[in-house]
Chain A
Amino acid sequence: MKLLRRLIESRFWALTVKEIGQILRNKQLIFLLVFPPTIQLLIFGLALNPDVQNLKLGVVDYSNTPMSRELVSALTANGVFRVDRAPPNEQILGEQVRRGEIITGLVIPPTFNRDLKSDHPAEVQVLIDAVDANTAGIASGYAAQIINHFSQQLAPQNQAPIETQVTILYNPGLISSWFIVPGVLGLVLNLGSSLVSTSAIVREKDTGTLEQLLMTPAAAWEIILAKVVPLFVLLLGEVMLAVTVATLVFHVPFRGNFFLFMGFSGLYICVGIGIGFLLATVSRSQQQAILTSFFINLPLIQLSGAIAPIESMPRFFQILSLFNPLRHYVKVVRGVLLKGNGLEVLYPEAIALTAFAVALLAISTYKFRTQLS
């Protein structure tokens, strides 16, 4: 009780109350914390979709027998390929692939049925537009598998001695938004926390009220802490909002411990606020702060694995990404939400994020103090 009274009567409390008042009056700030994150989550989650489905297929069936038609329907059965057109000959098919009207083409030779009846292997040609290297790779894998499977069914006595039983863990339906949305959650929190904290300080600089604060007997740490605490609470709210969107709109599972997740998010908010303060102390105006935040946030986001997986980056960038706090947070979000990881798995990330948070806040407080005096 006594402690509480001392807290309420302290300078720190008075400063915090002032900050909260300022934030609540700043409609733009609240808007900034609610609107862009929701939109970003929705657009990223819907638009970044690596599915390989409904690829337009052009079929030239010179054989035109029940068997060749069965091959075509086997190819289209699971929805990877969809017959879009049936050009009369190979030249026209090639032309259509060239113009990008269809992505894949299948040419069944006139001798197809005859070859099948004899011992001669029947050859079919599959053309794939490989401009999109990734989709082409997956599509060609599917095509080969489907055709092999089909030809195995033709000779049932020839059963394969090894059968691979594939189990996909964590996301058995391979729903693409389950990969993107947790990544974007990290991205959104990073942008939100650094932007809001930058503008909280730069605004005082721009309007000159920072000098007034300096004239008061309050210490630098009191001024900073009073700024951090309300922002921290607000940003925790933003995390909750983002998680709600992720689970309600995209049905992303939440398999891990909620409090562990909020703890990590709290750590990352400290990192983000640290980045924001650092930006604010090095830049002279709000415009400069925003432009420099481009410099910082672009590599942070791209090298975090939120959009493109870290494993597929060149070695140099993989190592560089270890110094990116967002990379660790994105791993935590995916780990807790999808895999249900606990602290026994995520402790390296906990150590890394704590180190980043402490270092960033210490540096920015130090720089802030030197600027103050």
Chain B
Amino acid sequence: MKRILAQCTKELAQFRRDRLTLALAFILPVMTLFIFGFAIRLEAKNIAIVVQDFDRSNLSRRYTEGLYQTNQFVPAQWSGDDPMQDALDRGIAKAAVIIPPDFSRGIAAGKTSQLQVLIDGTDVNNARVIKNSIQAFTRSFLQDQNLMSGTSKITPRLRLWFNPGRRESLYIVPGVFGVILAIYPSLLAALAMSREKEQGTILQAYASSISAAELLLGKCLAYLVVGIGQAIFVIGLGCAIFRIWFVGDPSPFLIGTGIFLIASIMFGLLIGVRANNRSVAVQGVATAGFLLALLLSGFIYPLSNIPFPLSLVTNIVPARYFIEISRDAFVRGTGWEGVWVAQVCLVVLAFVLFNIARRILGRMQLPG
């Protein structure tokens, strides 16, 4: 225990003295919070569309105006006569609505008028959003204009739970906490471990009586202190800027954060033990950390969309469990009952990572 604490104090002293790393430890996470928190939005607002009105009747004009009043679409400036070539191909507009010349006459005569809608499918997600909203608008337009009996036989009562306003920041920001705390604490830990190897000071540790487990635990403790500092800083700032707060019992989140920090520090130490110099260590954490925490953690799109062999990998990504805990704390609010499994998984992962690192480090040490 004494040796662990000594190792921890030594590591913290070194960390404090290294100005560049100290700055990186706090500036990089904040930068990530800002960019991810603000810039990752999946659903487009103010989508530019063009309406080609061949009918030019009162009805078609009302339709066009109504479309822009949904607050989802804005008219795009374009010139030409082929909306596909002149607006969609050029990327000026994301969708085109073409109102045929006999639009209002046909409706007056009791016939069905065909409204043509062209949608740019390059952005798959928003193509779906646009398609849904144009169809929903058309239906409500028909009812508003008394063209269709307002009372359909079945009325769906839609209720959105947990996030009724569908604020996307509520989904993204708790996930960003997970990505940040997966990458930066492990980056620092990997740097510390590989520095000892690069500068050869690890040999002194080998020669001394400290064991591999004690060395790892000492470093882990030191960076746990740093990581808790980062966590308080980033999560506090994130809550203040994006106006989110705990919706239920915060204790699973607080404990989960501690366990998750240990898991990601262990991951960093493991990479540090494997890498021979700091550049390799940084690259290892950056590549593996970003790929795992960003792509295989359910941060952007639901985990259930990941196809089979790859979906197995998601089970060993600590960030995945933490993001689950974090979203529960800030949006869902079920508390321990909902997230205890994730907590257990995090403990297991942290322990496994520690053991692998200890094995590798132990192998390098002289026996006895």
Contact = CB atoms under 8 A, between A and B. Distances in A.
A237 B36 CA distance: 32
A129 B154 contact: no
A183 to B, nearest CB: 10
B126 A174 contact: no
A335 B88 CA distance: 11
A169 B295 CA distance: 27
Interface stretch (A159-167, A214-222, A260-268): A159-167
Interface in B49-102: 84, 88-91, 94
B133 interface: yes
Contacts of B46: 311
A312 B45 contact: yes
* Max chain A C-beta neighbours (<10 A), residue from B35, B114, B310, B327: B35
Contacts of A97: 161
Contact of B156 (A144, A152, A299): A144
B35 A179 contact: no
A373 B225 CA distance: 45
A124 B156 contact: yes
Contacts of A66: none
B287 A36 contact: yes
Interface in A328-348: 331, 334-335, 338-339, 341, 345
Nearest to B327: A131
Interface string A119-142: 001111111111111111110111
B135 A313 contact: no
A98 B334 contact: yes
Interface stretch (A3-11, A238-246, A288-296): A288-296
A48 B166 contact: no
B243 interface: no
Given A122-B154, A140-B158, A145-B136, A161 B124 contact: no
Given A141-B136, A178-B124, A331-B91, A126 B20 contact: no
B282 A48 contact: no
Given A167-B116, A339-B89, A43 B310 contact: yes
Contact of A158 (B122, B149, B170): B149
A144 B136 contact: yes
A47 B295 contact: yes
Given A135-B302, A151-B154, A345 B127 contact: no
A134 B171 contact: yes
Interface stretch (A18-26, A272-280, A301-309): A301-309
Interface string A76-103: 0000000000000000000001111000
Given A36-B287, A133-B168, A287-B279, A302 B121 contact: no
Given A137-B129, A174-B127, A308-B300, A334 B136 contact: no
A46 B296 CA distance: 10
A147 B158 CA distance: 11
A287 B24 CA distance: 13
Given A141-B136, A162-B113, A163-B112, A134 B125 contact: yes
Contacts of A48: 295, 300-301
Contact of B158 (A143, A158, A171): A143
B163 interface: yes
Nearest to B151: A121
B22 to A, nearest CB: 13
A163 B156 contact: no
A97 B227 CA distance: 33
Nearest to B333: A98
B307 interface: yes
Interface in B102-135: 106-107, 110-129, 131-135
5 contacts: A50-B124, A130-B162, A131-B171, A339-B89, A339-B91
Given A43-B295, A97-B161, A131-B162, 7 more contacts: A130-B164, A135-B301, A170-B121, A287-B279, A302-B40, A309-B42, A334-B122
User: Which 6 pairs across A and B sit closest by C-beta, in order of nearness?
Assistant: A141-B132, A171-B121, A49-B305, A130-B160, A130-B163, A151-B154
Interface of A: 36, 39-40, 43-44, 46-54, 71, 97-100, 116, 121-138, 140-145, 147-148, 150-152, 154-155, 158-172, 174-176, 178-179, 286-288, 290-291, 294-295, 298-299, 302-303, 307-309, 311-314, 317, 331, 334-335, 338-339, 341, 345
